[in-house]
Each structure stands twice: as C-alpha cells, then as structure tokens.
Amino acid sequence: MSNTYKKLAVLGHPIAQSKSPLIHEYWIKKYGVEGAYGAIDIHPDDLEKDFGALITEGYTGLNVTAPHKETIRKYCDYFDDAAYEIGAVNTLHIKDDKLHGSNTDAYGFAMNLETSFPDFNWTKGPAVILGAGGAARAVAFALKEKNVPVMKICNRTIFKASNIAADMGGFVMPWEERREAIKNCNLLINTTSLGMVGKDSLDMKLDVLPHDAVVYDLVYAPLMTPFLLDAEARGNKVVTGIGMLLYQAQKAFETWYGILPDVDEDLRKIVLQ
C-alpha cells in the first residue's frame, strides 16, 4: 500500500449524476489515505483534444464511464484480461507515464451476487441475459469466467446479441422468445435500461421461471424495479443493481491504493440517498 497523494476522477459525458465521487471520497476518508476524487465531463468530440492534457495534469487514476469506455482503449498501453475481452475500460491507472486499462464491471457483477447469496452455484444451470449493450458484455464475461454451463442472450437487436455470443460463447434468443428462454434457468439478469426511472418498464413474464432461480437487475434507480418485485412476489431470490456499482468501485480503489475497501452499510445508505 502506498499513501502518496492520488489525483483521481471519473470521466464521462454527462457526469453530474455519477455516484463514483461519493463512493471513493467515502473510502479515502475512511482509510485515511491521501487523495481527492473529482468528476470530469468531456464531450466525445473533445476527447482527442482534451484527454492528453488531462493526463499531463498528474492523475493517478480515472474511472471511465459512458460514452468513453470503448474509445478510451486507444490511449492505453496495457490492458487486463477483462478489459481486453470485454472491449471496454472502466478503470485507468497511470504509472510511470503508462496507461493501464482495466475493467472491474464483471468483478462488480459477480461480487454483488456472491456477497448477496454466498451459496449461489454458478454452474448449476443456464443463465439468461436480457440485453446486449455494454453492460451485457461485462456480464457475459463474468458468466464465462464462472463456467456457467449455458448462456442465452436475448436482445431486441439480434446482431448485438450475436456479437457477444460469438466473443464469449452462448446462444442468441430473439427478444420475442424471452419467456421461453428462462424455462430452466438458474440465473436471469436484466442488463437493459428498461425499468429505470424515466424509461419504459421491462415486459417480462416470469410464469415459467424455476422458483429457485436468482433474478438480478442491473438497474438500481429504483432499487427494487417492478421486474424484481414480480420475481420476489413469486419466491425467487433477487439481487439489486446497486452492489455492482459499489463492487466495481471496490476493485478500482484497490488498483490505485492497494487496499480492498469494505462495502459497508453506511456507504450503501450514502449512495442510495
């Protein structure tokens, strides 16, 4: 662990709504380490112009969020396996003038489930992913790493599901067949934006879902989406999306400080306010 001052920030567009400053400032204070964590808004058209200048300002680390997770790769000197395979970087560590790009989203996804249900058996049966955007790629990578036996990807735009299936292994199911897809599933994950505050709700019938399947929604505003409420009402175990945000941050903090910080109840309360 090193306790030299670290200049840190999250980079995205827009960025005002990001919870990352709250999370990392909480840990900086809790662990008494030196540093500050800000938020930087760069429009995609200005990334080329502004990113180089940003690095010369002496940042130790950055989190990268939409819409820069893919484009930022061209500035990286090194990648970890997750960033390489997912094709997106959410954490940068700047060491000896070299940019190390990593992706902690898959870690965050898996840790959130494993800390919620420590007995969960990833290899017991198929997993179904709803959606095929950036978040789905990270989830598919995590499922592959956990040796989930069968992965089915249902998306409205079929070619996006096909791309993930080709890269990570898995089967593509048409969006219209999502009800049939979950028949024997062990884990059902919503990675779409449906159900989020201000978006349409997720129209997903759960009548054929096994009662012992775990249902996981990456959406965390609201914390309990109608999809999760439906699942809970029929007796399924549910996992909310807030933990994925907290655990991806946990791994990023460890990258910079060498400390794996606690995801404690006070922190959960702060981010849910």
* CB nearer ligand ATR, residue 8 or residue 136: 136
* Nearest of 241, 195, 234 to residue 220 by alpha carbon: 241
Q: How far is the CB of 246 from ligand ATR (least distance, A)?
A: 17
| Cis check: omega of the bond before 21, within 30 degrees of 0 | no
> CA–CA separation, 31 vs 29, rounded Å?
6
Cβ pair 120, 92 in contact under 8 A: no
Catalytic residue among 69, 146, 152, 251: 69
Q: How far is the CB of 56 from ligand ATR (least distance, A)?
A: 29
* CB nearer ligand ATR, residue 191 or residue 240: 191
Q: How far is the CB of 88 from ligand ATR (least distance, A)?
A: 9
* CB nearer ligand ATR, residue 155 or residue 225: 155
Q: How far is the CB of 196 from ligand ATR (least distance, A)?
A: 9
* CB nearer ligand ATR, residue 191 or residue 250: 191
* Nearest of 163, 150, 192 to residue 175 by alpha carbon: 192
Q: How far is the CB of 190 from ligand ATR (least distance, A)?
A: 9
* CB nearer ligand ATR, residue 9 or residue 132: 132
**Three-state secondary structure string covering the chain:** CCCCCEEEEEEECCCCCCCHHHHHHHHHHHHCCCEEEEEEECCHHHHHHHHHHHHHCCCCEEEECCCCCCHHHHHCCEECHHHHHHCCCCEEEEECCEEEEECCHHHHHHHHHHHHCCCCCHHHCCEEEECCCHHHHHHHHHHHHCCCCCEEEEECCHHHHHHHHHHHCCEEEEHHHHHHHCCCCCEEEECCCCCCCCCCCCCCCCCCCCCCCEEEECCCCCCCCHHHHHHHHCCCEEECCHHHHHHHHHHHHHHHHCCCCCCCHHHHHHHHC
Active site residue 69: yes
* CB nearer ligand ATR, residue 60 or residue 104: 104
> Which residues bind to ligand ATR, rule: CB under 6 A?
131-136, 155-157, 160, 191-194, 200
Q: How far is the CB of 157 from ligand ATR (least distance, A)?
A: 3
For ligand ATR, which residue has the nearest CB?
133
Catalytic residues, by residue number, are: 69
